Chain A
Amino acid sequence: MSLAKRDWQSITLSAVLLAVAACLPLTGDAYMLSIGITIAMYAVLATSWALFSGPTHFISLATAAFFGLGTYTTAIGIENGLNYWVTLPIAAILGAVLAALVGLATLRLSGVYFVIFTLGLAELVRQVVTWGQNVSGQKGLYVLTDITEVHIYLQLLVLGGIVYLTGWAIGRSRLGFALRIIGDDEEVARHSGINTSRAKILLFMVSGATAAVVGSMLAPRYIYIEPALAFTPMLSFLVVIMALLGGTGRLWGPLVGVIPFTLLWEAISASFPNQTTLLLGLSFLVIVYLLPRGFVGLIESGKRKMREREAFA
């Protein structure tokens, strides 16, 4: 595989940006660091969400289920004497397995079934975990580690780097090309010899495994974990909004949505905590009616207009 000049440029640019982001803890500002973790978390989640949902147009509302699965894997693992670092790959595997099961049941069928299924998945897992805890007489779990906020932040950045590289590699692979074809016309994809269910399930597994690892990494931050916290459905909705707001047509698209929306969300939650649901609803409507291709679409049509104007000048 040979890399074009443009590829090197974008890799270098990404590496520089990542390095700059890694300097944030040096400011020593606890609030900045906390916001940084939230942004990094959503950036990883939204980017990996878009890896699957961008090309296929299948909207997954299951992020919270994978996230919670990861959080619980780490919490239960540590309680049973496992090393924190060992729980991360276990969470990734469990996330991929859950994604494969959901995919096998729903991805052969039309997109509506998938949305409905994923919409209730987090709630389903939450009910089962709560029930399991009731049966065993346990309420929540403590995650006591020596991992600090700075560690969590840096881990998320590394994971973000891995997700970017994975996304970039998939984009250049047969699998990525297959998914673009599926997104354009699934019938053509099938008749061209693409095993469409397998391609979709594979990508959904990547996305699910990533969300599970993010959940694992965040577990030490929460210290005390209970089902309502780990499986909060809000997480799934926010990830969808951020990714679509940024635009899923480009790998960097979701990031463009994550940063402003996280800041807006934090501000609204702080000053009008009762209006967050309303904001969530309005954001969905804004995306459909005003920004159907996200900020990426806006930027690209702006560029095209600039070019046309130059051509006339």
Chain B
Amino acid sequence: MTTGPTVLSLRGATKRFGGLVAVNDMDFDVTEHEVLGLIGPNGSGKSTTLNLISGALKPTEGTISLRGTPISHLSAADIARRGIARTFQLVRLLPSMTVLENVRAGAVFGHRRRWGAEADAHALRMLALVGLDRRANAHVGELTYIDTKRVELARVLASEPKVLLLDEWLAGLNPTELEEGITLIKRLRDEGRTIILVEHVMDAIRSLCDRCVVMSTGLKIAEGTPEEVLSDPEVIRAYLGDYDA
């Protein structure tokens, strides 16, 4: 099923905060055009893993490589430039700017760098992709919650990343919005993008992910297709009492 070349790989990635081991010896690969779900109960280290990949945090031990080249020693900016782009758990937009300018930030400084009219045209295309092209000149303060998430997604897409990291992008949406959101990510998946998804919404995991890595207390406890891992007794034990899957 996963036959493409490996894009991103983690080997023994570990993050300690003082005595607490937030991520413990993580190993996994992401292949091209794959959607990988990173799941697990609250506090299991999913977001920390994402932060290690995007360079927001440096791993205490282990390496993370992009197409065979180690990137774990690089700054967040360098990692972004090499083609790993992320959204944030709590949406982060640039408050003083318009929707278009927000997206342009990704187009100008990301993996593929554009400038001037080319950057604007590209940003508009990305806005069309997420269905917001008609609000390009709106101020971000005027947007609804899902629209702010769309702008953030468009900003990330505009950098043409090799790997897309979505940190609970579907969290906090109401049922209709959730449906729209899942459709949108499905479209990205059908375009053949490589995505790592940290997610709690089980419907989304089942319908979007090719493969899942399950974490609990910093450790990888299972890996496989959504059906496999969600029926794994250890995974069920990890979730029980903490999350009604």
Contacts and interface: CB of A to CB of B under 8 A. Distances in A.
Does a CB–CB distance below 8 Å link A and B in the complex?
yes
Interface in B89-121: 92-97, 104-106, 108-111, 113, 115-116
B95 A190 contact: no
B155 A192 contact: yes
A194 B109 contact: yes
B204 interface: no
Given A178-B109, A181-B105, A196-B77, A191 B85 contact: yes
B174 interface: no
Given A187-B92, A189-B109, A192-B110, 12 more contacts: A177-B105, A187-B88, A188-B88, A190-B76, A190-B80, A191-B76, A191-B80, A191-B86, A192-B155, A192-B159, A194-B77, A195-B78
B54 interface: yes
Contacts of A174: 108-109, 115
A272 to B, nearest CB: 40
Contacts of B95: 184-185
B227 to A, nearest CB: 33
A193 B92 contact: no
Interface residues of B, number: 30
Q: How large is the interface on A (under 10, 10 to 19, 20 to 34, 35 or more residues)?
A: 10 to 19
A193 B97 contact: no
A149 B95 CA distance: 46
A195 B113 CA distance: 14
Contact of A193 (B88, B111, B115): B111
A180 interface: yes
B85 A184 contact: no
A194 B105 CA distance: 9
Interface in B57-83: 75-78, 80-81
B245 interface: no
A220 B106 CA distance: 49
A184 B109 contact: no
Given A185-B92, A187-B92, A192 B97 contact: no
B94 A184 contact: yes
Contacts of A180: 94, 96-97
A193 B96 contact: no
B109 A192 contact: yes
Nearest to A55: B96
B94 A193 contact: no
Contacts of A191: 54-56, 76-77, 80, 85-86
Interface of A: 1, 174, 177-178, 180-181, 183-185, 187-196
6 contacts: A1-B116, A190-B75, A191-B80, A192-B85, A193-B109, A195-B75
Interface of B: 54-56, 75-78, 80-81, 85-86, 88, 92-97, 104-106, 108-111, 113, 115-116, 155, 159
A190 B94 CA distance: 13
A180 B105 CA distance: 10
B43 to A, nearest CB: 22
B108 A195 contact: no
Contacts of A196: 77
A178 B119 CA distance: 14
Contacts of B81: 193
Contacts of A185: 92-95
B72 to A, nearest CB: 16
B65 to A, nearest CB: 19
Contacts of A177: 104-105, 108
Contact of A192 (B75, B96, B105): B105
A192 B94 CA distance: 12
Nearest to A177: B108
Contacts of A195: 75, 77-78
Nearest to B115: A174
A191 B97 CA distance: 17
B159 to A, nearest CB: 7
Contact of A188 (B94, B96, B116): B94
A7 to B, nearest CB: 14
The 6 closest A-B pairs by CB, nearest first: A193-B80, A184-B94, A193-B81, A193-B109, A190-B76, A192-B109
Nearest to B158: A192
Nearest to B92: A188
B155 A184 contact: no
B115 A192 contact: no
